């Protein structure tokens, strides 16, 4: 890190990577993108920030990374006040934006050299640091190839390395694996874990709830510019209140039948007062502490009412269920996951991702 006149003013803050107090952002056109966000993220945490499209995630990240001024509230990052010491903050963070920052005219090594210059990494340290980062993200073998031939996954890995050249103690990753195939995504997860194991605090936004579940120590869910839930992934799943019974109704049944099936299950009163019974595209989704023990009774009640059932499954809640319960929306992960299984933008003469 370059020397700066601005120093963290409060020792307590040094243990706290991010402290946002009632953060607000209203854009010039009047859009209240962030209404009130308060977050305290200790050093070393792997923190996930989730929310439906347009909830205010990127706006919050931009304020924390001092790329945008808040219109209300206070922010301290790495012990520096965002309103007074934006340069010091920028020098002490890495930021991987949704869009790639790779310069395709340059090789992987040249991209990293350029980032070293931009961040003021001392000349004598640059070569070793670049080699170490190329190794970390498995790009050493293609270090001197022009990055225009890299696959999407390779460019993302180069983006990760670029965000780390100045060894920042805090890294922001804004949807870092969107659009990647599962293999490329898994590789990136390894690097993120490795960086976090070395002590780097990570602030991640993602639309893949499995990603948040696999990587994050703690999560916050934002909806309409406000935090609506915070907790460890397991804690949030427990809040769903039981297990999930998915029931698939026969193809011949339509939406009205699903409503009728839900009414039959409610009337049968088998699952306790706190159960939720919702029609879905396939049939019914039931959340209940008795989902396992009373599941077959539910199926019998449906059969007795003349409703055809073609399949059922009892399972533990996932973060998708949490997300749906909290925000009433899905992340759109299904569509994206389908896209993500497609090849990763192959281009003519592409360098292999292996
Ligand atoms: N420059 C801008 N001017 C006006 N409104 C904006 C601007 N940027 C974002 N918004 C609006 O602010 C709200 C929050 O946007 P933001 O990009 O922070 O959400 P997000 O949670 O990151 O969404 P996504 O998952 O789609 O990236 C949205 O309603 C968006 O349309």
Domain ranges of the chain: 11-237, 241-316
d(CA 132, CA 25): 38
The protein residue with its alpha carbon nearest to ligand 1, atom 8, reads 59
Give the pLDDT confidence score for residue 272 in this predicted structure: 83
Q: How far is the CA of 101 from the centre of ligand 1 (A)?
A: 20
Q: How far is the CA of 28 from the centre of ligand 1 (A)?
A: 12
Q: How far is the CA of 54 from the centre of ligand 1 (A)?
A: 5
Res. 12 pLDDT band, cuts 50 70 90: very low
Q: How far is the CA of 207 from the centre of ligand 1 (A)?
A: 15
Mean pLDDT of the chain: 86
Give the pLDDT confidence score for residue 3 in this predicted structure: 39
Give the pLDDT confidence score for residue 11 in this predicted structure: 39
Res. 334 pLDDT band, cuts 50 70 90: very low
| pLDDT over 60 (residue 297) | yes
Question: What is the pLDDT averaged over residues 303-318?
Answer: 91
Question: What is the pLDDT averaged over residues 145-156?
Answer: 93
Give the pLDDT confidence score for residue 218 in this predicted structure: 97
Structure tokens at 250: 């026969």
Q: How far is the CA of 34 from the centre of ligand 1 (A)?
A: 9
| pLDDT over 50 (residue 79) | yes
d(CA 94, CA 61): 12
Give the pLDDT confidence score for residue 350 in this predicted structure: 37
- Of residues 52 and 144, more confidence is placed in 144
Question: What is the pLDDT averaged over residues 10-28?
Answer: 84
The protein residue with its alpha carbon nearest to ligand 1, atom 26, reads 53
ipTM, two decimals, is: 0.97
Question: What is the pLDDT averaged over residues 45-62?
Answer: 94
| pLDDT over 70 (residue 303) | yes
Question: What is the pLDDT averaged over residues 299-318?
Answer: 92
- Of residues 12 and 281, more confidence is placed in 281
Give the pLDDT confidence score for residue 253 in this predicted structure: 60
Q: How far is the CA of 238 from the centre of ligand 1 (A)?
A: 30
The residue to mutate among 31, 98, 173, having the most atoms of ligand 1 within 8 angstroms of its beta carbon, is: 31
| pLDDT over 90 (residue 202) | yes
Question: What is the pLDDT averaged over residues 143-159?
Answer: 93
Q: How far is the CA of 56 from the centre of ligand 1 (A)?
A: 6
Question: What is the pLDDT averaged over residues 271-283?
Answer: 87
The CATH number assigned to the domain with range 241-316 reads 3.30.70.260
The protein residue with its alpha carbon nearest to ligand 1, atom 29, reads 54
Q: How far is the CA of 33 from the centre of ligand 1 (A)?
A: 6
Tens digit of each residue's pLDDT (9 = 90 or more) over 228-260:
999 999 998 888 878 999 999 986 566 678 889
Q: What class has domain 11-237?
A: alpha beta
Question: What is the pLDDT averaged over residues 125-153?
Answer: 93
Percent of the chain residues past pLDDT 70, beyond the cut: 87
Q: How far is the CA of 59 from the centre of ligand 1 (A)?
A: 6
The protein residue with its alpha carbon nearest to ligand 1, atom 30, reads 54
Sheet with 46-50: list strands edge to edge: 80-81, 72-77, 16-26, 32-42, 226-231, 218-223, 46-50, 201-205, 170-174, 93-96
As to burial, measured by CB atoms within 10 angstroms (0-12 exposed, 13-18 middle, 19+ buried), residue 287 is buried
Give the pLDDT confidence score for residue 2 in this predicted structure: 41
The protein residue with its alpha carbon nearest to ligand 1, atom 13, reads 33
Res. 331 pLDDT band, cuts 50 70 90: low
CA angle (155 as vertex; 152, 161 as ends), nearest 5: 145
Give the pLDDT confidence score for residue 136 in this predicted structure: 85
| pLDDT over 50 (residue 351) | no
- DSSP letters of 228-240? EEEE-HHHHHHHT
Ligand 1 first shell, C-beta below 6 A? 27, 29, 31, 33, 51, 53-59
Q: Which of 299, 293, 267, 265 is nearest to 279 (CA)?
A: 265
Which ligand 1 atom is nearest residue 98's CA? 27
Res. 16 pLDDT band, cuts 50 70 90: very high
- DSSP letters of 187-201? HHHHHHHHHHHTT-E
Question: What is the pLDDT averaged over residues 171-179?
Answer: 91
Which ligand 1 atom is nearest residue 62's CA? 18
| pLDDT over 80 (residue 332) | no
The protein residue with its alpha carbon nearest to ligand 1, atom 16, reads 56
Question: What is the pLDDT averaged over residues 295-314?
Answer: 93
Q: Which of 327, 322, 267 is nearest to 298 (CA)?
A: 267
The residue to mutate among 56, 98, 205, 228, having the most atoms of ligand 1 within 8 angstroms of its beta carbon, is: 56
d(CA 199, CA 46): 10
d(CA 36, CA 220): 13
């Amino acid at each position: 890190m370059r020397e700066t006149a601005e120093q963290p003013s409060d020792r307590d803050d040094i243990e706290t990577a991010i402290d946002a107090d009632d953060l607000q952002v209203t854009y010039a056109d009047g859009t209240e993108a962030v209404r009130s966000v308060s977050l305290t993220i200790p050093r070393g945490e792997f923190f996930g920030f989730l929310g439906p499209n347009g909830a205010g995630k990127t706006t919050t990240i931009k304020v924390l990374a001092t790329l945008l001024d808040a219109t209300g509230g206070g922010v301290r990052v790495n012990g520096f006040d965002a309103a007074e010491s934006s340069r010091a903050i920028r020098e002490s963070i890495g930021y991987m934006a949704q869009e790639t920052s790779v310069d395709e005219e340059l090789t992987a090594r040249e991209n990293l050299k350029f980032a070293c210059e931009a961040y003021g990494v001392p000349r004598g340290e640059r070569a070793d640091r670049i080699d170490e980062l190329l190794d970390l993200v498995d790009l050493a073998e293609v270090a001197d190839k022009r990055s225009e031939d890299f696959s999407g996954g390779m460019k993302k890995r180069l983006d990760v390395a670029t965000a780390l050249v100045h060894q920042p103690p805090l890294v922001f990753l804004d949807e870092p694996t969107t659009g990647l195939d599962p293999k490329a995504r898994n590789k990136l997860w390894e690097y993120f874990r490795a960086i976090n194991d070395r002590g780097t605090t990570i602030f991640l936004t993602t639309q893949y709830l499995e990603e948040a579940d696999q990587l994050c120590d703690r999560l916050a869910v934002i909806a309409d510019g406000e935090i609506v839930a915070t907790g460890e992934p397991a804690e949030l799943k427990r809040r769903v209140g039981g297990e999930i019974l998915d029931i698939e109704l026969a193809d011949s049944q339509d939406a009205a039948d699903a409503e009728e099936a839900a009414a039959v299950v409610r009337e049968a009163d088998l699952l306790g007062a706190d159960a939720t019974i919702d029609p879905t595209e396939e049939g019914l989704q039931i959340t209940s502490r008795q989902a396992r023990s009373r599941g077959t009774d539910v199926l019998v009640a449906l059969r007795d009412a003349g409703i055809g059932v073609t399949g059922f499954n009892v399972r533990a809640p996932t973060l998708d269920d949490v997300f749906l319960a909290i925000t009433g929306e899905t992340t759109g992960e299904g569509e994206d996951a389908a896209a993500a299984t497609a090849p990763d933008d192959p281009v003519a003469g592409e360098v292999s991702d292996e």
